[in-house]
Amino acid sequence: MKAILRLKDVEVALGGKTILNIKELDVRSEEILTILGPTGSGKSTTLKLMAFLIKPKKGELFWQGKKVRFPAPLVIRRSISMTFQDPLPFEGTVFENVAYGLRIRGIKGKELRTRVEEALELFSISHLKNQSAKKVSGGEAQRVALARSLVFRPSLLLLDEPLASLDPITKEGMIPELHKVLKQLGITCVYVTHDQEEAFALADRIAVMEQGEIIQVGTKEDVFFKPGDVRVARFVGAENLIPAVILSNEEGLVTMKAQGKTLEAVAPFPQGTGVIACIRPEEITLKKDGAALDRVTARNQLPGIVLSLETLGPVIKVSLDCGFQIKALITRRSASDLNLKPGDAIFATFKATAVHVIPEVKGGTNG
């Protein structure tokens, strides 16, 4: 697919210190690329660079295949639009806020009105158009900011954690809405977030960032279920990272030894490889009754002791000692059916396909 924007070997420095170092990153036409990473990993800096608002110390940026010199020409800057975490309303009404991008592009009169009204409609804020933009609620202000960014139909929309300041319910409602609008208009979007659920819900592709570098780019399925290294695995929620050594590999089905326990998984690595076995906590099922295990098809069945239970809203995170510590996520109902409490003996079961194996050298150990 064609890259609308390409970053090549770019470095950004702040006060002499390199804060961003990207070897290569493409933004493909009409995709939603989310940049996922912890706070301070360089996500916002990447967006500002993509908006041509800051100049890299080194490296090149290509806009639709052509190298861009800094300061970027206005015509390129005008093809790009960016929204920040704060809605940053301007003085004046909601209508005037949304109209700003059109006015500075010389659009006026009937065309301006029609296009602003369309944008207001798109984000269901038509009823607010005559209100002061500084007086609407947080969620509404964020819609105003999004409408203001989209009204002139940029070729590339950059969103910097636009939902981070919203309450969970408003946020949950806005994610599918935003996804629908972006896909409906066919807008290429780079979406920055530290929230893995948000990233997964919106993305076509995900780039994971840490300490100013991109450590993995891929489809969201790849990044979430086949993380390339331990840092990515940890960040996308694969909480169980178990160091192991491969004992045998029979046509892709590997048997591993981890702290004296045997694990089975699907992986391409040969015998003797040091690896990290990643298991997402929601892939683990708990059974109390040893006899019931006969009916379980999962290849991995580890006996263990319950260490602690932690309630996380509708689910419960159970920590187990199976020779190494692992964590499982189960529903409240399962927990009460099993009558779980610390000290109980239990079996943790999971399929061989639920274990993602990363060679140890790539990302170091899970320390």
Partner 1 sequence: MILSLDPELMQVLLLSLEVSGLAICIAVVLGIPSGVFLGLRRFPGRNLLITLVNTGMGLPPVVVGLVVFLFLARSGPLGNLNLLYTPSAMIIAQIIIALPIVMGVTMAGIQNLDEKLRLQILALGASKLQYFWKLIEEGRLIVLSALAAGFGSIISEVGAVMMVGGNIKGQTRVLTTAIVLETRQGNYSLAIALGIILFLIALLLNLVFTYLQQRRSS
Contacts to partner 1 by CB under 8 A: 48, 51, 53, 74, 77-78, 80-84, 86, 88, 90-91, 100-101, 104-105, 148-149, 152, 158
Residue (62 or 100) nearer to partner 1, CB: 100
CB of 82 to partner 1, least distance (A): 4
Residue (52 or 235) nearer to partner 1, CB: 52
CB of 153 to partner 1, least distance (A): 12
118: how many CB neighbours lie within 10 A of its CB?
14
CB of 148 to partner 1, least distance (A): 7
CB of 91 to partner 1, least distance (A): 6
SS (H, E, C) 304-327: EEEEEEEEECCEEEEEEECCCEEE
Residue (158 or 215) nearer to partner 1, CB: 158
Rounded distance between C-alpha atoms, residue 343 and residue 309, angstroms: 11
Residue (70 or 90) nearer to partner 1, CB: 90
Rounded distance between C-alpha atoms, residue 95 and residue 125, angstroms: 10
CB of 284 to partner 1, least distance (A): 43
Q: Which residues are CB-contacts of 339 (< 8 A; sequence separation ≥ 6)?
A: 288
CB of 129 to partner 1, least distance (A): 18
Rounded distance between C-alpha atoms, residue 57 and residue 21, angstroms: 10
Residue (150 or 207) nearer to partner 1, CB: 150
Rounded distance between C-alpha atoms, residue 190 and residue 193, angstroms: 10
Residue (152 or 200) nearer to partner 1, CB: 152
CB of 84 to partner 1, least distance (A): 5
Strand order in 156-160's β-sheet? 80-83, 156-160, 188-193, 32-36, 205-210, 213-219
Rounded distance between C-alpha atoms, residue 155 and residue 64, angstroms: 10
CB of 303 to partner 1, least distance (A): 54
DSSP structural state of residue 263: E
Strands (E), 15-89: 17-28, 32-36, 58-63, 66-67, 80-83
C-alpha of 240 from chain center: 19
Residue (158 or 316) nearer to partner 1, CB: 158
Query: Do 116 and 95 contact (CB within 8 A), yes or no?
Result: yes
Residue (95 or 152) nearer to partner 1, CB: 152
Phi, psi of 61 (to 5 degrees): -120, 135
